[in-house]
């Protein structure tokens, strides 16, 4: 016999504080009704399927999202493949054929501003469709304070407002990527860098210089200074690069994965008249970055 479930639905990009507040409410409701708490999510952003030109870059890859959900949620997470056919389903049909028949849902907790199904619906309509399919529909409380959503956090990150984005996430925004070979110019001016290749769909913060904490392959952590940008002093191709200078570290990292957490942003990217001028600015940046890192500890 299948276990009856209490379900909430979302893409959960970033698994931010609002998501975790919703999942906490689901756990309590499920426990009170002796139901299995289940978070239903999707393998790709719905807009990637329905409006391909409008799909956003994401706060988390699928693997990152699943890891964050595993740590934040004491229940089962089910990933559904989002297809054109699913996107065309009405909310009532999705509740009947997916939530009720496949997942044995008896309770659906909806985020305070969440809608699903082709054409959406009003709270009253969702409640009616739930009664018709044997699912009790409840609405979650909103997290107090500033409205928190994945789209708001994306906008903050694109603007370089890392500290405010981190406050909404409830953790430091991060990237993880492979270290690739570069031009080694940083080493020549006393600031060797690791060139990081982030995942294709991962949202990068605004161009500029950031204070970061780097987790090395051996698990140890070091402070660092990261630059995202076009390297206007030495490049003309317009490509975006992600380079991190790790304080007090000089080992070879080529081919390794680095995990980098953003702490704060200190300045915009800008061109310099020479490598000596760039070196002078980096020396000043390093002082500012170390101060930010010390304050965050």
Q: What is the pLDDT of residues 189-214, one digit of tens each?
A: 778 899 999 998 999 999 999 999 99
Collapse the DSSP code of 214 into the 3-class scheme (helix H, G, I; strand E, B; otherwise coil) and give the result.
strand
Q: What is the mean pLDDT of residues 154-182?
A: 95
Which one has a higher pLDDT value, 37 or 142? Answer: 37
Per-residue pLDDT, 243: 94
For residue 245, name the pLDDT band (cuts at 50, 70, 90). Answer: very high
Instruction: Give the whole-number percent of the chain exceeding pLDDT 70.
Output: 94
Residues of CATH 3.40.50.620 domain(s) within the chain?
5-139
CB 185 within 8 A of CB 34: no
Domain 5-139 fold is: Rossmann fold (3.40.50)
Res 1: pLDDT: 47
3-state SS of the chain: helix, strand, coil percent to 5?
A: 35, 25, 40
Q: Is the pLDDT of residue 143 over 50?
A: yes
Which part of the chain is CATH 2.40.30.30? 173-296
pLDDT at residue 147 in the model? 87
* 72, 102 contact by CB (below 8 A): no
On average, the pLDDT of the chain sits at: 91
- Mean pLDDT, residues 178-196: 79
| This prediction's pTM | 0.92
pLDDT of 146: 85
pLDDT score of 83 more than 60: yes
Q: Residue 60: its pLDDT value, please?
A: 98
CA pair distance 63, 177, nearest whole angstrom: 13
Given a cut of 70, whether residue 91 has pLDDT beyond it is yes
Q: How confident is the model at residue 233 (pLDDT cuts 50, 70, 90)?
A: low
Measured between alpha carbons, how far is 282 from 108 in angstroms, rounded to an integer? 53
Give the domain 173-296 fold.
Elongation Factor Tu (Ef-tu); domain 3 (2.40.30)
């Amino acid at each position: 016999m299948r276990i009856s479930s209490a379900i909430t639905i979302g893409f959960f990009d970033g698994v931010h504080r609002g998501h975790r507040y919703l999942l906490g409410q689901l756990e309590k409701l499920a426990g009170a009704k002796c139901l299995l708490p289940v978070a239903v999510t999707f393998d790709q952003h719905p807009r990637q399927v329905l409006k391909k030109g409008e799909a956003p870059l994401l706060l988390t890859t699928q693997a990152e999202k699943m890891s964050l959900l595993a740590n934040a949620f004491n229940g089962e997470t089910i990933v559904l493949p989002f297809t054109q056919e699913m996107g065309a389903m009405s909310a009532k049909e999705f509740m009947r054929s997916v939530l009720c028949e496949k997942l044995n849902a008896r309770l659906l907790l909806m985020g305070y501003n969440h809608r699903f199904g082709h054409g959406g619906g009003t709270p009253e309509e969702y409640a009616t469709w739930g009664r018709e399919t044997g699912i009790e529909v409840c609405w979650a409380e909103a997290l107090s304070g500033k409205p928190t959503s994945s789209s708001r956090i994306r906008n903050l990150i694109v603007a370089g407002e890392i500290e405010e984005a981190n406050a909404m996430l409830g953790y430091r925004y991060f990237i993880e990527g492979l270290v690739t070979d570069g031009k080694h110019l940083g080493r020549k001016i006393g600031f060797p860098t690791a060139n990081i290749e982030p995942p294709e769909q991962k949202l990068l913060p605004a161009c500029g210089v950031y204070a970061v904490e780097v987790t090395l392959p051996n698990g140890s952590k070091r402070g660092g200074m990261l630059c995202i940008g076009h390297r206007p002093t030495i490049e003309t191709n317009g490509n975006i690069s992600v380079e991190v200078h790790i304080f007090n570290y000089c080992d070879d990292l080529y081919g390794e994965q680095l995990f980098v957490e953003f702490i704060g942003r200190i300045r915009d990217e800008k061109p310099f008249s020479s490598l000596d001028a760039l070196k002078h600015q980096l020396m000043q940046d390093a002082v500012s970055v170390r101060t930010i890192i010390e304050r965050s500890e």
